[in-house]
Amino acid sequence: MATSSISYCFSVAFVFLFALDTLSFQVMTASGHVANDTDQIQFALNLEFLEAEFFLHGTLGKGLDDISPNLAQGGPPPAGARKANLDILVAPIIEEFAYQEVGHIRAIVQRVGGFPRPLLNLSRQNFAKLFDEAVGFALIPQFDPYANSINYLLASYLIPYVGLTGYVGTLPNLTAPASRGLVASLLGVEAGQDAVIRTLLYERGNQTVLPYSLTVAEFTNRISELRNKLGKSGNKDEGIRVPITLGAENKTTSNVLSADVNSLSYARTPPEILRIVYGTGNESLHGGFYPQGANGKIARTCVTGWLEEARLGGEDIGYSFRRDLKLISEVQAPFRGIRRFFYLAFSAAAGISTFFTVPRLFRAISGGDDAPDLWETAGNVAINIGGLIVLVALFLWENKKEEEQLTQISRDENLSRLPLRLSTNRIVELVQLRDTVRPVILAGKKETVSLSIQQAARFRTELLRRGVLLVPVIWDEVRAPQIEKKGFGAPSKAAAALPSIGEEFEKRTQSITAKSKLKAEIRFKAEVVSPSEWERWIRDQQKSEGVTPGEDVYIILRLDGRVRRSGKGMPDWQQIVKELPPIEALLSKLER
Ligand SMILES: *[C@@H]1O[C@H](CO)[C@@H](O)[C@H](O)[C@H]1NC(C)=O
Ligand SMILES: *[C@@H]1O[C@H](CO)[C@@H](O)[C@H](O)[C@H]1NC(C)=O
Ligand SMILES: *[C@@H]1O[C@H](CO)[C@@H](O)[C@H](O)[C@H]1NC(C)=O
Ligand SMILES: *[C@@H]1O[C@H](CO)[C@@H](O)[C@H](O)[C@H]1NC(C)=O
Ligand SMILES: *[C@@H]1O[C@H](CO)[C@@H](O)[C@H](O)[C@H]1NC(C)=O
Ligand SMILES: *[C@@H]1O[C@H](CO)[C@@H](O)[C@H](O)[C@H]1NC(C)=O
Ligand SMILES: *[C@@H]1O[C@H](CO)[C@@H](O)[C@H](O)[C@H]1NC(C)=O
């Protein structure tokens, strides 16, 4: 009896282990490229602090430090905020908004944690500067947001709207339902606040904002234009009165709500928002409402991105890639440890069971009255021993798989460090071309490789559209090793201005300019620096794929810098053109 239940145990165990394998696949896809909800939601806290302080001070003459000091987490008090001179209609509305913002901050902090309030510049001078920029000349006297209800509403026009577009942008990128729920609820109220402010302004649309000659509607249009200009991503912001081509269904000039051609809310990304609220049009250049920059991981990455990376150079870029690779290993086999544990546990069970069944088998063989049934006992022994063998084999196999995986990761790491010389003589490590090109390594004898490059030239345009960068490596080419080393020593400086890799977010925010600069330097073909290292790497890769080292091969890398596939001989370019999607298509798909 005991033994048959053990056999039953085996089948259950196998089903279980199989389920773990299936599960691990799902974990991998779910976290394919992890956009961390916490960081994204916390980013919004920056705007919530701004709104809370501006509204609290505007109506109550005091801020978060008086209302709910623990929420500020010791951040510096806002500069220049004052009580505004509001009428009896506007004052209670703004007061309500103010308390709503306090609630928002609390909700975010409770759900995902927070950070200290960043320094906020709510001074009259700061608003004045912004308004001057919006209208395109210096308003005289200086614009004072705290002077009256109209001015205050115009100043407020900026804030919930930017928050709202930020939430619209964030929501689709969140993974956890709880995060989505939170952001949806925040979005609902921000949208409402924006609508109320816009309606109040719309009602006064034809009034001139004294003592200036511009109407309220004109001010909103100018402010929206400025925000579009700073955001650098086209028209995502519209005043309360628009040309009919921007109105709802091209049928209205009133524009109480700002929305796109299908009347859907515009979405903004964190860098766009930072460009606007910093007033600099540059997410890494703080200023405006945030003299010391916004807080939290996302904003900090933008601010420090350029400078730190410039200092740390390629080593840092490489580091985050290498950290990614380690994560990949865990993501690909998250249940390996558990599986190994069960293999061991079940082997032990099978061992013990065998230990007890074998004496029974002897008794069965020797016969006698109380002897157990021979065939049943023999069957149980066979199941136990068979199971034991299978489990031990699985255990060993699992270890081997892990070993192979780690070697591959180390090989990927080594690949990412290999240096290249671009057409402009700039030297970069392969990792720095990540997300920009798909290198195709052509390794072989000189004649073969040059022939293949000639053939590729015929598909040049098509290949370039697919981001292909040819990297010829000639076997055993004699070069002075000293020169190689010199070239290799230089890259940390070259690395400076290049986009970082790593987090999804960094990837996008880091510098479209640097990327386009880099792109301009990429001319279809790059020269390897330190060919002996390249050769060593290719030979290792060949060994791992069971190809005789030194044979002619081509290796196509993916945009993320890992091996896509490889083949013997030289590639069929026509086939490659078919196989790889054009880069623009790929990026626009990601964008959406
Ligand atoms: C998100 O990433 C931050 C670090 O950037 C980490 O502290 C936090 O625990 C992560 N949150 C989740 C839910 O993974
Ligand atoms: C706030 O902005 C104004 C105008 O740009 C500037 O003069 C002032 O120094 C700023 N205050 C702080 C604390 O940064
Ligand atoms: C959301 O994801 C898209 C596409 O990956 C990206 O362009 C955008 O910046 C992300 N938005 C936010 C708010 O992170
Ligand atoms: C504002 O003026 C325009 C004409 O300049 C007029 O069509 C519109 O009805 C006015 N709006 C309000 C709210 O008075
Ligand atoms: C409104 O006009 C613009 C061009 O001015 C056009 O792109 C858009 O499709 C039109 N919208 C509708 C709903 O017809
Ligand atoms: C943004 O500011 C950083 C730091 O000052 C600078 O290096 C970078 O070139 C600027 N980017 C743009 C697009 O102007
Ligand atoms: C990676 O490079 C290091 C040092 O050059 C070398 O020791 C290691 O064996 C390489 N790893 C693989 C998998 O080739």
Which residues does residue 441 pair with via DSSP β-bridges, in sequence order? 471, 555
Print burial letters for 125-135: b (CB count within 10 Å at least 16), e (below 16).
Answer: ebbbbbbebbb
Minimal-distance CA residue to ligand 2 atom 4 = 126
Mean pLDDT of each 10-residue bin along the chain, 592 residues long: 52 52 34 61 95 97 95 94 96 97 96 94 96 93 96 91 92 92 95 95 95 94 94 91 92 93 93 93 91 88 49 46 60 70 82 83 80 81 85 85 80 81 74 82 89 88 86 72 36 36 45 58 78 87 84 87 85 88 63 37
Q: Please answer whether residues 342 and 30 qualify as being in contact, where contact means their C-beta atoms are separated by less than 8 angstroms.
A: no
Say whether 495 sits in a helix, a strand or coil.
helix
Task: Give the C-alpha distances (Å, rounded to integers) separating 327 from 33, 76, 332, 335, 340.
Answer: 10, 37, 8, 14, 20
Report how far residue 107's alpha carbon sits from residue 122's, in angstroms, rounded to the nearest whole number.
24
Which ligand is nearest the CA of 130, by number?
A: 2
Ligand 6 atom index nearest CA of 283? 1
Tokens 């990026």 sit on residue: 587
Locate the domains of the chain by residue range. Answer: 2-30+318-414, 37-282, 418-591
In angstroms, what is the span from residue 234 Cα to ligand 6's centroid? 19
Report how far residue 415's alpha carbon sits from residue 186's, in angstroms, rounded to the nearest whole number.
45
Ligand 3 atom index nearest CA of 270? 13
Report how far residue 49's alpha carbon sits from residue 26's, in angstroms, rounded to the nearest whole number.
38
Instruction: Look up the pTM and report it.
Output: 0.55
Ligand 2 atom index nearest CA of 292? 14
Report how far residue 249's alpha carbon sits from residue 306's, in angstroms, rounded to the nearest whole number.
42
Cβ atoms < 10 Å from Cβ of 194: 22
In angstroms, what is the span from residue 434 Cα to ligand 7's centroid? 21
Which residues does residue 473 pair with via DSSP β-bridges, in sequence order? 443
Query: How high is the pLDDT of residue 339?
Result: 78
Q: Measuring CA to CA, which residue among 140, 151, 145, 148 is closest to residue 213?
A: 140
Token pair for 554: 């081509």
Minimal-distance CA residue to ligand 6 atom 5 = 285
Minimal-distance CA residue to ligand 7 atom 13 = 411
CATH architecture of 418-591: 3-Layer(aba) Sandwich (3.40)
Residues 6+ apart with CB under 8 A from 459: 573, 574, 576, 577
Token pair for 354: 């065998």
Helix axes of 216-231 and 270-277: crossing angle, nearest 10 degrees? 130
Which ligand is nearest the CA of 36, by number?
A: 1
Ligand 7 atom index nearest CA of 414? 1
Residue of 278, 306, 311 with the most ligand 6 atoms within 8 Å of its CB, for mutation: 306
Q: Which helix (H) or strand (E) holds 420?
A: strand 419-421
Q: Measuring CA to CA, which residue among 415, 408, 412 is closest to residue 534?
A: 415
Pairing mode of beta strands 419-421, 527-528: antiparallel
Query: How high is the pLDDT of residue 507?
Result: 47
Which ligand is nearest the CA of 200, by number?
A: 4
CA angle 561, 564, 569 (to 5 degrees): 115
Tell the burial category of 92 from Cβ atoms under 10 Å away from its Cβ (0-12, 13-18, 19+).
exposed
Query: How high is the pLDDT of residue 385?
Result: 85
CA dihedral 448, 453, 459, 464 (to 10 degrees): 140
In angstroms, what is the span from residue 318 Cα to ligand 1's centroid? 21
